[in-house]
A and B are shown apart, each in its own frame.
Chain A
Amino acid sequence: MSREKLRDKASIKILEARKPEGMETIWDRYEAQQPQCGFGLLGICCRMCNMGPCRIDPFGTGPQKGACGATADTIAARDMTRQTAAGSASHSDHARDLGHTLIAIGKGTAQGYSIRDPYKLRIIAAEFGIKVENKKDNELALELGERALQEFGKQDDSQLTLSKRAPERQQEIWKKLNIYPRGIDREVVETLSRTHEGMDQDYKNLIQSTMRVSLADGWGGSMIATELSDILFGSPKPIRARANLGVLKEDEVNIIIHGHEPTLSDVIVTASQDPELIKLAKEKKAKGITVAGICCTANEILVRRGIPVAGNFLQQELSILTGAVETMVVDIQCISPGIAQAASHFHTKIISTSAKASIPGVEHIDFREDNALDTAKKIIKIAIDNYPSRDKTKVIIPKEAMDLVAGFTAENIFYHLGGKFRASYKPLNENITNGRIRGVAGVVGCDNPRMGSGSSHVALVKELIKNNVLVVQTGCAAIECAKEGLLTPETAIEMAGEGLKEVCKAVGIPPALHLGACVDNSRILIACTEMVKEGGIGKSLDELPVAGAALEWMAEKAMAIGWYFVASGASVVFGTPMRISGSQAVYDYCTKDMENITGGKWAFEEDPIKAAHIMIDHIDKKRKALKLAPMMYTQSYAVSV
């Protein structure tokens, strides 16, 4: 049973309560899909052309080649490359929308938006080679928006602007391997072309394309999305909030925003504070309006505005099954079709807002920059009008809601480490050098019923901080750990090992830091680059004592993220393998040979404790290579190298 590993109490309560009523959820549908197709799981089913689908017999008795002659190596690599391109495209298209919003502000056609971080606007504009002197914010917004969009359609062979932030050694490796990202759209298009029937067939060359398209995401699309979001909606600062289904209110109009883009969620938050709308809500006998987020859109408004988080990916249906949600507003990515089915049991109205993501049987209200605030108000009014239809006898809101601190960034983290007047990464690097902190680990990604339904992240982070590894988090993994109290100093510091505990207490940070949404994994790249710049713990990303994990990865976006970290020299652990196990050559190339190519590598391990040990072993290996001091205190998982 996939549900057995689910640990989140709020989710379990809802599932238990709704079980007798026969309401179906993602776990039921996942179970009904078992056993899943072995050819698909191993990545040896090729659907690229109409001679297929062709399958390779993994047991060796049946066909070993597709109709065209493609081997398991070609098929597995080709499919993985395409999936990575889809992931890259998703993040980057999200960034493109933000570019358009910035331009709309510049032209004065946007409604409800402003430049909330003019300081960063100037820094980023200058980085893109724009002259910032004597220019108004609006002029710069227009110029930067247009300049940022040029990165998508760039046709020359120079590398993307923000990829120049990477340490020199990484850029050298990329040049040598010819994987430096050129144009964001170009890399996606080239990957699609290279994976067409009868094109690239050598798995090594295909993986070269995989790395390139993923770098166009990490140091391109995702990074642009993060930077432009900071400019538009404000750079996050550490902020307290609450997370889990308990943030929904029994006597208020509950609006859930689900999806990924901050453009929609931010303006809805603004509109929800409109006194007239609050008055209207009170006329309908509600005490107020509660806005809560799900998935990465939750992270976007959490880190910037402290808006409560209702839950992560697996809780989207469960939030509706509370019976207490008037409206769920969705934009793009990770919107399960299951929400429309869940909503049919209650009064909940789902509203889709993106022309790129339409859901059958769901009301669509097109969301555009030029009438954003009006649209947001219209949506909130729909929610308020729907409040009287709520059947109070059917409402079940679990009490669980945990405090958390979010809003750390690559820029502000060094204030916390070094203090306002001597802000630098020095304290972090020093504490790694002297053996208080063992290293840094990114624990990110989705939550997936195939693995722990979120619980793997919690077990992994606990094991890492116990062993003095400072953890940085994004996405649904961050939300899961927030729900378990791992993101608040009060509860989490005590779970940390001695050395990490000392540092966290001195600085006043939790041992697991929330860095934002899944596009904000780019913040981890920047933070690692800053660690390299500070010096003492490696001259390039692949020398740093760091590791990453997305154990419960689900989306293709996670593959793009994983690959841009591996291509940037990091070690990345996924719970279940990407669909390459059917080709031993591709599997070995990713998990073994890669280390001699980019310095990064893949590992696949479902057990969170074993995964933690893989990450710690990697960190220890890097510590040894750097000749760092032995760990200051006894480690619960002993240093083995």
Chain B
Amino acid sequence: METKKIFCDITKCVGCRACELACAIEHSATKDLFLAILESPRPKKRINTQFIEKDVFHSVACQHCDDPPCVEACMASCIHKDKETGKVDIDSKRCVACWMCIMACPFAAISRKAAAESKALKCDLCPERECPACVDSCPTRALYFEARKDWAKRKENKQLVNK
């Protein structure tokens, strides 16, 4: 089965950053907005709202690439791509904080955990949820969680308006 990925319809993204907040909350201990901001260390988002040009925004997280440059770059071999599902995961225990993955990622989708815990951090597709928090939080329904072929079909049929 091909893994589902997060796709963003740039015609609908308004750059509100709701996905970023939802991501940080989901990756917190309390999973509550009002409590998560008080946690120490504060939880970190793994998705970024990027500004492409005037009125065009794009919410982007790890693309779980076919041939991931981060896997290639990781000298500790802690990043690997699951052959079956296609998901790219970081094994934090083995991360030596060399940041080569950050240098290599063309989507700037990898960041550093809080200083106290020096490890690489990226989208894990919310393993505890059926659908990632960012997708559920999107007020304009610009984010999709689906297989690439379904996304391609949607794009082809221009069915981007109704989910």
Contact B37 A582 (CB under 8 A): yes
Cβ contacts under 8 Å, B18 to chain A: 35, 37-38
Binding stretch for chain B, among A58-66, A440-448, A507-515? A58-66
Contact A38 B45 (CB under 8 A): no
Q: Does A112 contact B (CB under 8 A)?
A: no
Contact A39 B37 (CB under 8 A): no
Cβ contacts under 8 Å, B45 to chain A: 59, 61
B86 CB, nearest partner CB in chain A, Å: 28
**Please, how many residues of chain B have a CB less than 8 angstroms from a CB on the other chain?**
21
Q: Does A41 contact B (CB under 8 A)?
A: yes
Task: Determine the distance from Cα of A58 to Cα of B20 in the docked complex, in whole angstroms.
Answer: 11
Task: Determine the distance from Cα of A9 to Cα of B38 in the docked complex, in whole angstroms.
Answer: 39
Contact A35 B37 (CB under 8 A): no
**Please, how many residues of chain A have a CB less than 8 angstroms from a CB on the other chain?**
17
Contact A39 B42 (CB under 8 A): no
Cβ contacts under 8 Å, B137 to chain A: 35
Contact B24 A41 (CB under 8 A): no
Cβ contacts under 8 Å, B43 to chain A: 59
Task: Determine the distance from Cα of A42 to Cα of B44 in the docked complex, in whole angstroms.
Answer: 17
Q: Does A457 contact B (CB under 8 A)?
A: no
Contact B42 A41 (CB under 8 A): no
Q: Which of B17, B38, B42 sits near A55, CB closer than 8 Å?
A: B17
Cβ contacts under 8 Å, A41 to chain B: 33-34
Task: Determine the distance from Cα of A455 to Cα of B18 in the docked complex, in whole angstroms.
Answer: 30
Task: Determine the distance from Cα of A55 to Cα of B36 in the docked complex, in whole angstroms.
Answer: 17
B85 CB, nearest partner CB in chain A, Å: 27
Q: Does A388 contact B (CB under 8 A)?
A: no
Q: Does B22 contact A (CB under 8 A)?
A: yes
B120 CB, nearest partner CB in chain A, Å: 15
Task: Determine the distance from Cα of A483 to Cα of B33 in the docked complex, in whole angstroms.
Answer: 34
Cβ contacts under 8 Å, A582 to chain B: 37
Contact A38 B44 (CB under 8 A): no
Cβ contacts under 8 Å, B16 to chain A: 37
Contact A59 B136 (CB under 8 A): no
Contact A35 B42 (CB under 8 A): no
Q: Which of B17, B38, B44 sits near A39, CB closer than 8 Å?
A: B17
Task: Determine the distance from Cα of A39 to Cα of B49 in the docked complex, in whole angstroms.
Answer: 15
Closest residue of chain A to B28, judged by CB? A59
Contact A42 B17 (CB under 8 A): no
Q: Does A598 contact B (CB under 8 A)?
A: no
Contact A42 B24 (CB under 8 A): no
Contact B34 A59 (CB under 8 A): no
- Chain B residues 60 to 119 lying within 8 A of chain A, measured CB to CB, are 111
B15 CB, nearest partner CB in chain A, Å: 10
Contact A35 B136 (CB under 8 A): yes
Task: Determine the distance from Cα of A65 to Cα of B17 in the docked complex, in whole angstroms.
Answer: 16
Cβ contacts under 8 Å, A38 to chain B: 18, 21-22, 25, 33
Q: Does A581 contact B (CB under 8 A)?
A: yes
Cβ contacts under 8 Å, A62 to chain B: 17, 20
Contact with A along B7-34 (1 / 0, CB 8 A): 0000000001110111011000000011
Number of CB contacts from chain A to chain B under 8 A: 43
Contact B33 A59 (CB under 8 A): no
Q: Does A577 contact B (CB under 8 A)?
A: yes
Evaluate whether A59 and B22 lie within 8 angstroms (CB atoms) in the complex, with A35-B136, A37-B16 already known.
no
Cβ contacts under 8 Å, B24 to chain A: 59
Q: Which of B20, B22, B36, B111 sits near A35, CB closer than 8 Å?
A: B22
B34 CB, nearest partner CB in chain A, Å: 5
Cβ contacts under 8 Å, B111 to chain A: 61
Closest residue of chain B to A576, judged by CB? B34
Query: Which of A58, A581, A582, A584 neighbours the largest number of chain B CB atoms within 10 Å of its CB?
Result: A58
Closest residue of chain A to B33, judged by CB? A38
Contact A59 B44 (CB under 8 A): yes
Query: Which of B33, B111, B136 neighbours the largest number of chain A CB atoms within 10 Å of its CB?
Result: B33
Cβ contacts under 8 Å, B44 to chain A: 59, 61
- Chain A residues 10 to 66 lying within 8 A of chain B, measured CB to CB, are 35, 37-39, 41-42, 55, 57-62
A32 CB, nearest partner CB in chain B, Å: 10
Contact A581 B17 (CB under 8 A): no
Task: Determine the distance from Cα of A504 to Cα of B6 in the docked complex, in whole angstroms.
Answer: 63
Contact A581 B34 (CB under 8 A): yes
Task: Determine the distance from Cα of A61 to Cα of B113 in the docked complex, in whole angstroms.
Answer: 10
Task: Determine the distance from Cα of A41 to Cα of B21 in the docked complex, in whole angstroms.
Answer: 12
Task: Determine the distance from Cα of A38 to Cα of B23 in the docked complex, in whole angstroms.
Answer: 11
Cβ contacts under 8 Å, A42 to chain B: 33-34, 37
Task: Determine the distance from Cα of A62 to Cα of B33 in the docked complex, in whole angstroms.
Answer: 16
Task: Determine the distance from Cα of A55 to Cα of B139 in the docked complex, in whole angstroms.
Answer: 17
A582 CB, nearest partner CB in chain B, Å: 7
Cβ contacts under 8 Å, A59 to chain B: 21, 24, 36-37, 42-45
Cβ contacts under 8 Å, A55 to chain B: 17
Query: Which of B20, B34, B136 neighbours the largest number of chain A CB atoms within 10 Å of its CB?
Result: B34
B101 CB, nearest partner CB in chain A, Å: 18
Query: Which of A35, A577, A582 neighbours the largest number of chain B CB atoms within 10 Å of its CB?
Result: A35
Contact B22 A58 (CB under 8 A): no
Task: Determine the distance from Cα of A35 to Cα of B34 in the docked complex, in whole angstroms.
Answer: 13
Task: Determine the distance from Cα of A584 to Cα of B34 in the docked complex, in whole angstroms.
Answer: 11
Task: Determine the distance from Cα of A62 to Cα of B15 in the docked complex, in whole angstroms.
Answer: 14
Cβ contacts under 8 Å, A60 to chain B: 42
Task: Determine the distance from Cα of A102 to Cα of B43 in the docked complex, in whole angstroms.
Answer: 59
Closest residue of chain A to B137, judged by CB? A35
Task: Determine the distance from Cα of A59 to Cα of B35 in the docked complex, in whole angstroms.
Answer: 11
Task: Determine the distance from Cα of A59 to Cα of B111 in the docked complex, in whole angstroms.
Answer: 14
Query: Which of A35, A41, A59, A62 neighbours the largest number of chain B CB atoms within 10 Å of its CB?
Result: A59
Contact with B along A575-601 (1 / 0, CB 8 A): 001000110100000000000000000
Task: Determine the distance from Cα of A35 to Cα of B133 in the docked complex, in whole angstroms.
Answer: 10
A205 CB, nearest partner CB in chain B, Å: 24
Task: Determine the distance from Cα of A38 to Cα of B18 in the docked complex, in whole angstroms.
Answer: 7
B81 CB, nearest partner CB in chain A, Å: 26
Task: Determine the distance from Cα of A230 to Cα of B161 in the docked complex, in whole angstroms.
Answer: 56
Task: Determine the distance from Cα of A584 to Cα of B38 in the docked complex, in whole angstroms.
Answer: 9
Interface residues of B (CB under 8 A from A): 16-18, 20-22, 24-25, 33-34, 36-38, 42-45, 111, 136-137, 139
Interface residues of A (CB under 8 A from B): 35, 37-39, 41-42, 55, 57-62, 577, 581-582, 584
For this complex, 6 residue pairs linking A to B, each with C-beta atoms less than 8 Å apart, are A38-B25, A42-B33, A59-B24, A59-B43, A582-B37, A584-B38
Q: A35-B136, A57-B20, A61-B45 are in contact. List 14 more A-B contacts (CB 8 A).
A: A37-B16, A37-B18, A38-B21, A38-B25, A38-B33, A41-B34, A42-B33, A55-B17, A58-B33, A59-B42, A62-B17, A581-B37, A582-B37, A584-B38
* List of 5 A-B pairs having minimum Cβ-Cβ separation, nearest first: A38-B21, A58-B37, A59-B24, A59-B42, A35-B137
